[in-house]
């Protein structure tokens, strides 16, 4: 993804991505940690999607964050830094389970499969919990009766 300095510089590819995001049921953000934060390209994509003001493609989208790191902390800094931005964008973020994946460089075998059964089980739990989180948030929108949710959700 290209880095953009001004909303006016948006290209068709970004606009198409924005339309795809608007039609999404939810967002699962998977990010490496760079200097206790997220990569600039990811932050830029979030920022571009938040413009123009009051027309953010992110508004109300249920979200989960998975972070990875080559170190033992597993991307804790990136995960929490991303969550700070998501709160401002009105993206309800799944609180548990938190997903930090440490030492990602040695996590995979030579077939690019996760070596550890415990890690595979944990990631399955994260995905299952995220599916439940999305259903819960969608149910809250329906019960609230605000009529402000413009997305068409697919059956999970």
**Mean of per-residue pLDDT scores for the chain:** 81
- Predicted confidence at residue 68, as pLDDT, reads 93
- Predicted confidence at residue 16, as pLDDT, reads 45
What average pLDDT does range 125-150 have in this prediction? 71
Q: What angle do CA 61, 66, 71 make, to 5 degrees?
A: 155
How would residue 50 be classed by pLDDT, with cut points 50, 70 and 90? confident
User: How many Cα atoms within 13 Å fall on the side-chain side of residue 9?
Assistant: 7
How far apart (Å, rounded) are the C-alpha atoms in residues 100 and 78? 9
What percent of the chain shows pLDDT beyond 70? 78
- Predicted confidence at residue 143, as pLDDT, reads 35
How would residue 72 be classed by pLDDT, with cut points 50, 70 and 90? confident
């Amino acid at each position: 993804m290209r880095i953009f300095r001004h909303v006016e510089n948006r290209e068709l590819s970004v606009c198409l991505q924005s339309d795809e995001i608007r039609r999404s049921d939810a967002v699962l953000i998977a990010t490496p940690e760079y200097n206790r934060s997220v990569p600039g390209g990811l932050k830029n994509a979030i920022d571009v999607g938040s413009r123009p003001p009051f027309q953010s493609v992110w508004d109300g989208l249920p979200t989960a964050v998975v972070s990875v790191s080559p170190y033992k902390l597993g991307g804790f800094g990136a995960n929490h830094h991303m969550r700070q931005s998501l709160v401002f964008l009105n993206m309800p973020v799944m609180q548990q389970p938190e997903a930090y994946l440490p030492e990602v460089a040695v996590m995979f075998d030579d077939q690019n499969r996760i070596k550890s059964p415990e890690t595979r089980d944990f990631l399955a739990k994260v995905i299952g919990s995220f599916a439940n989180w999305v259903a819960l948030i969608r149910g809250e929108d329906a019960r609230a009766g605000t009529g402000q949710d413009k997305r068409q959700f697919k059956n999970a």
